[in-house]
A and B are shown apart, each in its own frame.
Chain A
Amino acid sequence: MSPTRRDVLRGLGLAALATPLAACVTTGRDTAPSPTPSAAATSTNNPLGVDATRRLEVVIFSGGNGDKYAVDLHEAAYRRAYPKAEIKHVATQKVGTQLRPRFIAGDVPDVVNNSGPEALDLQSLVQEGHLADLTPLFEAPSLAFPDRKVKDTLVGGAYENSLIDGVPRVLQYTVAHRALWYNAKLFEAKGWTVPRTWAEFNALGEEAKKAGIALFAYPGQVGPFYQLWNLVYSAAKVGGNKVIIDIDNLADGAWTAEPVRQAVAAWAQVQKDYGDKAYFGLDHTQTQVKHLQDKVLFYPCGSWLENEMAKDKPDTFEYAIAPVPSITAADALPYEAIMIGVSEAFFVAAKGKNPQGGLDYLRMMLSREGARGYTEMTKNLTIVNGLVDGLKLTSAVNSAAKAQEAAGKNTITDARFETWYKELFDHGQTQTNSVMAGRITADQFCENMQKKAGELKADSSIAKQTRTV
């Protein structure tokens, strides 16, 4: 315990409490032994040096994809490989609340799917040395393609996305396509075509209005971030990926840039003319039920959507993806551009009892049966290339695959400020609801966001990250 702490307590007039307190909590633990478990000898069969008898604890964020995939596929694979190792499985919706105290205490699980609204702050974990370097995993031979390294079996960008301060530390497991979703069968029945320009989009809005359908809706209660994503990706469409890179880098004027303002103004206008304010008070699943009832034409979301709504989807509904219509005639990216991004962040705890086992667990996730099975079970594509041939995919995923083909190289990059600066992202959600409801103008939106970004930039307690591509 540093002497300062005692001084502070004395300053508070609490000197009497200083002594007994020193025994517990936030201090005291730093002397606790944090053993770096020695690796077993590596071999061709065991490139990561896993001790076959050591226990492995896996914590899974149990959200839209549940946690069954982990038990039935990846943990089962681990058990087959190391029958003597005990596996502890923990499913939770509040990763941070449950794990934070354990990280301070030094009793950490080995593999964590750090997702969901209460995920752990990765940057502070890195600062404390809690995240294992994933380089051995990426360099190890792939289980899916034994003649290749794991790194060389992944879709483009997957490795780059794992980097924090230049070191691979987080494995983003799934690939998702984000744009606007609509009911292909409804369009067919009505004889409508997917709008490519903002004028066509508006014209369709008039048609839909006559049919009693809102042109567009996003869930304002729990999921305003769907629309925040949409705004940011639309801005990138107008001004190119540089718009998003600047935002992520907290660059001065990133939010007040013209493409951002144009995209926000365009969407706010659509909401005003063809939207329904009821959706500001609905959460994502509620809005998605309305979408399935053909009360909403376009819904901004990702390709996991169909899996989430599988139980409720009527036969008259077929999910299809549409790029955001071109906002101006001079957009930097063509109409076909859509966002392709990764999610489901897995990491291995560096100070856990079995980091080698953790790395090998991730390697099994990236095996043929691990990744293909995951896609089969959750209808999500993984970052492993070329494993889904012959799988029966959802119409959403198939449609996304086609859209990806059409987009070619014109993909919109993922916005990373969501995980880098969660406060900015949350502020963005509030501002999104505000601008879409017409309480502030697009200009005010841009200014408010820029102000928050500036505050974070000036805050020395927040570690900064940068990206160039």
Chain B
Amino acid sequence: MGRKLFGGVSQAVLAVWALLIIAPLIWTLLASFKSNGEIFGDALQLPGELRWDNWARAWERANVGRYLLNTVIVVFFGVAGTMLLSSMAAYVLARFRFPGNRLIYFLFVSGMAFPVFLALVPLFFVVDGLGLLNTHVGLVLVYIAYSLPFTIFFLTSFFRGLPDAVAEAAMIDGASYTRTFFQVMLPMAKPGMVSLTIFNVLGQWNQYLLPLVLLPGDKSNWVITQGIADISTIAGYEADWPALFAALSMTVLPVVVAYIVFQRHIQSGLTSGAVK
């Protein structure tokens, strides 16, 4: 009896939360087919017809295809670089004693606490001075630099938790430090690497302030969040809300589809990575 009641209540609680998540997303999708009048009418009403022209307008104005491609390129190299450099630094910081170890570690970790846009103006000049303004290379390097604190923080604790015996055995077999790292320790850290890769993909995919300042020029270089902001502002001035929601749907859909396809890997990655 208690068991049945418990099961019922649990189901209800879970279902309510699931509804809270799905409802706004469905609403957005529906809104992308509505007219302005319908969007500001009854919220629970369905669109009168499927207005695909909203999507066409959004595609054209927000240049979604181009921006998605740019974002994929930037995020791919950004995350790859982040993971490589972070794992190298974290490994050394976690497992080697040397003067300055704590200082460097603390310097990296404190970076998690600083609000990014405070550094925006000085950062602009650093990037400009290196001739990397308005380039994807510049943005990638900055993404890597700003992802280091968080990634190193988690990976360090991960590497600390790995057993010493394996590394020692490899060293006794005559493997160099570098080889030991890439062939023995890194594979052992795979669960942690996977989860942090996912984090970084999400973080860099959603980054907005950095591209805004570092890619101010040519619109063809823009990433998707800039496109969203652009059309969101335009919607504000032209009252074109349907196009805004269409553009939102366009950016959300591929992410959601990708997530559903990969969710097994994502969750198992997180699962194995999360436990120290």
Query: Which residues of chain B (229-245) have a CB below 8 Å from chain A?
Result: 230, 233-241
Query: Which residues of chain B (180-218) have a CB below 8 Å from chain A?
Result: 212-213, 216-217
Contact B237 A308 (CB under 8 A): yes
B241 CB → nearest A CB, Å: 7
A124 at the binding interface (Cβ < 8 Å): no
Contact A101 B233 (CB under 8 A): no
Contact A289 B125 (CB under 8 A): no
Tell me which residues across on chain B come within 8 A of A283, comparing CB atoms.
Answer: 236
With A283-B236, A289-B40, A309-B239 already in contact, the answer to whether A25 and B122 are too (CB < 8 A) is yes
Contact B216 A98 (CB under 8 A): yes
Contact B126 A24 (CB under 8 A): yes
With A97-B213, A98-B216, A285-B241 already in contact, the answer to whether A105 and B236 are too (CB < 8 A) is no
A-B contact count (CB 8 A): 73
Binding site of B, secondary structure by majority: helix, strand, loop or mixed?
A: helix
With A97-B212, A101-B125, A105-B125 already in contact, the answer to whether A286 and B237 are too (CB < 8 A) is no
With A26-B125, A289-B36, A308-B238 already in contact, the answer to whether A93 and B212 are too (CB < 8 A) is no
Contact A311 B37 (CB under 8 A): no
A156 at the binding interface (Cβ < 8 Å): no
A118 CB → nearest B CB, Å: 10
A438 at the binding interface (Cβ < 8 Å): no
CA distance A285 to B234 in the complex (A): 11
CA distance A62 to B231 in the complex (A): 11
CA distance A434 to B88 in the complex (A): 54
Using an 8 Å CB-CB cutoff, how does the interface string of A30-74 with B read, 1 for contact, 0 for none? 000000000000000000000000000000001110100000000
CA distance A312 to B240 in the complex (A): 9
Contact B238 A64 (CB under 8 A): yes
A222 at the binding interface (Cβ < 8 Å): yes
CA distance A25 to B122 in the complex (A): 6
Contact B237 A63 (CB under 8 A): yes
B129 at the binding interface (Cβ < 8 Å): yes
Determine the interface band of chain B, counting residues with CB < 8 A from chain A: 20 to 34
B60 CB → nearest A CB, Å: 14
Most buried by A among B40, B122, B241: B40
A293 at the binding interface (Cβ < 8 Å): yes
CA distance A410 to B239 in the complex (A): 34
Report the nearest B residue to A117, measured CB to CB.
Answer: B233
Contact B129 A24 (CB under 8 A): yes
Tell me which residues across on chain A come within 8 A of B237, comparing CB atoms.
Answer: 62-64, 66, 285, 308
Contact A312 B122 (CB under 8 A): no
Tell me which residues across on chain B come within 8 A of A368, comparing CB atoms.
Answer: none
Tell me which residues across on chain B come within 8 A of A29, comparing CB atoms.
Answer: 125
CA distance A24 to B212 in the complex (A): 21
CA distance A293 to B40 in the complex (A): 10
Contact B124 A289 (CB under 8 A): no
Tell me which residues across on chain B come within 8 A of A288, comparing CB atoms.
Answer: 239
Report the nearest A residue to B124, measured CB to CB.
Answer: A101
Instruction: Knowing that A62-B237, A284-B236 touch, tell me 18 more A-B residue pairs with CB under 8 angstroms.
Output: A24-B125, A25-B121, A25-B125, A62-B234, A63-B237, A90-B217, A93-B234, A100-B121, A101-B124, A105-B125, A105-B128, A222-B236, A285-B235, A285-B241, A289-B37, A293-B37, A312-B36, A312-B37
Q: What residues of chain B have their CB less than 8 Å away from a CB belonging to chain A?
A: 36-37, 40, 121-122, 124-126, 128-129, 212-213, 216-217, 230, 233-241
Q: List 16 A-B contacts (CB under 8 A).
A: A25-B121, A26-B125, A62-B237, A64-B238, A92-B216, A94-B212, A98-B212, A100-B121, A101-B124, A101-B213, A104-B121, A288-B239, A289-B40, A290-B40, A311-B36, A311-B238
